Structure 1
């Protein structure tokens, strides 16, 4: 093939090399889709080097010796989130990313929590052969309350800014590396890089002292992206686009019971006999209090304008 061969002909030739001699319609469409992704991510290498479209999907710097950290979805069962025993330690961005519609693409380092050890290795689950827990480094714009520098276990990728994904946890101080613009993995999709929020049916967001919720009755945040409800098994839960993200763990003891905002300013789950099976940890008070499900995904108890207790939950 000469350099004068038209691009369209080169694409057809590469598709033919990838396919079977008599491909089915489905296999041809799958191959064409994969090739299209490879062309978008790493066109020069895909057309000029002896590698398949699958390898090209991961973009440049995907080999173990390239020195970059693997994508979290490659090592976290397909989930584009920080794995257990890691935390968002910092971030950078690449501008004008085709993966994010021409906007910035954000790379969030998931560092190992202090005291938790991860074995340094190269990922082999897909073409993303980058490092896992080898680069000891921290940008430091996130979770500044966690001291020290630990290994970057993997990278969470997002088209939403980190300060929106982790409000109050990640700052806006920016670092940019456009060399990482085409870094990718097969498990990164539009669905998990643009977190898709769920909109629930309208409901009340506030529970005042003496009020309660029975099985199936809901609290819904004003923006309708988070809901909280008492399940039939007696467990009171908070749910958002990721499903259930918090619970009182009162199943089955509180089956048939209620969630009560007590006159002592504390939230409780009681069983059918009125026995408390779970209670919020804030001190009792005679000051008027109320419960609110907030737009940020937290269930919070207020005394006046002050939050005295809240769940450690979050909805972007």
Structure 2
């Protein structure tokens, strides 16, 4: 079939398509003409209906393998991360999917993972891509008709790693946080939208937290907490790193960390009922003398645990050892009630805030900060145990 015929067919398919839509329709029209030229040329049908061969697979009309979009990385590798030899080359935004909603509607972001180019190659194209031969890309649907293509599309939106040349798009990842926080190599603009991908999803995208950037200071800590059963997140795939931690939640984290020890119900506090999810945890904290409550008869489980309180609780869990680290925070006085605990935390590199100018001790601790604090303590305790072993 001639190039003119393909171009004429693609115009018939959709005269008003946008850039990405035009590329999609043109590609499908070209495939349709190549595979079923008579059927497409004679019968008033669509390109989608005429396509029967997709990347070497004979597929039904509408099969994912014939889809113009690339597969999700987690479907191919098991992780919602760019695979080795690829980098994030661009991103787009989708509103209204509901996948990232926590405290109201939140956007979902899709990031393209493109191959890096061989060092011997240069960018031959004005769009920042190199020739296909400069990468190990092999275009196909890895798994049959129900799997989208990978390593096929030589395209980039271009907001990320703008100084690097890339090859074909291998796969996509998703995030519920802005791309520039997920990968610092991404720019904040231009903001592009593709509502056609709103419902694109895979079960594997919900096996981890999509709001925890892989390079965040708390990423390793959150993974550790999830692996140890200390947290399940606010949703199956949302950890909520910036959300404040209540005193009841913090008690539960500590209790789970210690192996969920069974204790007798306590009536120490009037605001902690036996049916509350944190009742066992609070009773255990009282038994271990980790807490005496906000007042003698009130634990205040629904209030945020402050940064100072979180440090003191962990310090008491450790047995209140002495600390001698220098405290340089400008807002921590010499008579601060939490000073000994803070000196200990700084000495053992448990505190995530060590390089900050101020502590803001009464500020509610976030879930990210709490994860980093508990993980830091666990690393210290594990090190001490290994050093003490015969």
Regarding TM over 0.5, the answer is no
More helix by share: 2
Q: Which structure has the greater CA radius of gyration?
A: 2
TM normalised by structure 2 equals 0.37
More strand by share: 1
TM normalised by structure 1 equals 0.44
